[in-house]
A and B are shown apart, each in its own frame.
Chain A
């Protein structure tokens, strides 16, 4: 009996240590970035162009670039993702075609991000002759985000009670009328929540934009969707590995990493707060 107890306690301790290790890893990551990056953060760092071969100055163009390309991603992925979710949840029946779509979605979410990058290079940059620019990069990231947007949107549609649909149909609404007036208004906030989570991941991605539009260094801000751009994750990559004075620009790299993490987390936080508020409203 006693032996059993010892074994039990030891086992549970090991399991707890597993969780502890995972938590410790996160703490170390965040601690390192925050302590070493915080000193670099200043108004000037956030709002100035890089100077002196990127050894001084700020990361303003990278912030703007990430903002623009994420916006582009949203414009591309959100309508398509919502449309696909509407088809799957509202129109489609459970048949071979629908199963094919669902299987494709699951597989798309497993396609490596660099493969999306290759696809973007061939399709957008070359075949469509859009060139390396915000538009190409945004659409590439948009395709990558699509599976997440669809899944999140479908989840939101599923949360709308069936009675809203049948009630509208029984009043003589057409299918689309019932969706437009009695389903979407209640699903869109939930759709947005999931979509923002997907966009946060897109904002931190580097591989898909490596060849579709991100630039090493630009002395000016992009003026149109057809310009190249600097992006926070790519800038961090450069500062960490490609710069001629890697040790010297380490503080800038840390600062960039911190800004990137804060950006991604605040998008997540925003989505989580939104979700929390929606749940509260629904309960009332």
Chain B
């Protein structure tokens, strides 16, 4: 009797654990299921390899996500170019140079930065970063890829800093001591010994930061201007995959090709972030095992 009860409880918790798998598979399945009808009218080739997205045209609707992919890639790469050096530098300072006092102040700074809602960052993109960019480059408005990159960098920084810092901290002390004993300066040790030794952890942190940047919606939606055309530079307005979904899903009637196509965009987004996260996960895991 009590045995039965115990088994029932175990079963219940096991199902609860299984639920997580169901949700992940469910997300994938629903995205696939809902985007399939779109491909009755759109060829996969057009969808993936043409640039124009113009689903509401009266003349000829076009469903190419090329421009979106380029836009997403641009803001993401831009974000990493800004966040990578800044993040690694901060992580190196915190792990190797900072006094405990500085570290104690820096930790909440990074936590608070991570806690700011993305919509607030997007808002600041409009009211602060946008006008600054406009003035700096003498253009009519600053809502463009550069703005988005800058904001996404802010959002990716906490992830990059904390994981890189962990990676740098777990470099064995003996490495550092050996390097210092050979007469290297502290600085040389950081650059030539510690950062290379922590490279895979740092790489993983950037991949995670990248995953976050690719999937981020509100900041890019608000701060990049969202022009659907193919961008030619960082001062052009861009429209990422996430912002396209955010802008159009609210207005499109359910169960139309346009609606299904938006789920197709979501599916592509899901697959890309899934792969990016998987890579960082594998690297991080391998790296942890090595350190142990």
Contacts and interface: CB of A to CB of B under 8 A. Distances in A.
Interface residues of B, number: 88
Main secondary structure of the interface of B (DSSP, over half): helix
Interface string A86-115: 111011100000101101111110111111
A19 B89 contact: yes
B267 to A, nearest CB: 9
Contact of B217 (A15, A113, A203, A236): A113
B210 to A, nearest CB: 10
B122 A104 contact: no
B270 A18 contact: no
A249 to B, nearest CB: 12
B30 interface: yes
Contacts of B18: 101
Contacts of A265: 112, 115
A114 B242 contact: yes
Interface stretch (A26-34, A44-52, A187-195): A26-34
B113 A25 contact: yes
B21 A118 contact: no
Contact of A91 (B13, B122, B124, B217): B13
Given A7-B185, A112-B214, A237 B89 contact: no
B27 A268 contact: no
A207 B17 contact: no
Interface stretch (B38-46, B55-63, B275-283): B275-283
Name the interface size band of chain A: 35 or more
Given A84-B16, A112-B270, A201-B115, A107 B218 contact: no
Contacts of B274: 107, 110-111
A250 interface: yes
Interface string B152-173: 0010010001000000000000
Contact of A110 (B86, B117, B211, B242): B211
Interface in A137-192: 143, 146-147, 150, 174-176
A12 B269 contact: no
A70 B117 CA distance: 14
B140 interface: no
A106 B281 contact: yes
Interface in B95-146: 97-98, 102, 106, 109-113, 115-124, 126-128
A115 B215 contact: yes
Most buried by A among B17, B89, B92, B254: B17
B119 A237 contact: yes
Interface string B23-38: 1101100110010000
B186 A12 contact: yes
Contacts of A12: 93, 97, 186-187
A59 interface: no
A204 B120 contact: yes
Contacts of B86: 18, 21-22
B178 to A, nearest CB: 18
Most buried by A among B14, B87, B281: B14
A207 B23 contact: no
Interface of A: 4-5, 7-8, 11-12, 14-19, 21-23, 25-26, 28-30, 32-33, 80, 83-84, 86-88, 90-92, 98, 100-101, 103-108, 110-119, 121-123, 126, 143, 146-147, 150, 174-176, 200-201, 203-207, 210-211, 233-234, 236-237, 240-241, 250, 253, 257, 260-261, 264-265, 268
Closest 9 CB pairs of A and B: A112-B215, A204-B117, A18-B89, A110-B277, A83-B16, A87-B17, A11-B187, A15-B93, A87-B13
29 contacts: A7-B187, A12-B93, A14-B89, A15-B92, A16-B93, A16-B97, A17-B89, A18-B85, A18-B89, A19-B93, A19-B106, A21-B86, A22-B157, A30-B112, A33-B124, A84-B17, A84-B19, A87-B16, A107-B277, A108-B23, A112-B215, A114-B242, A114-B269, A122-B263, A211-B249, A237-B123, A240-B127, A241-B126, A265-B112
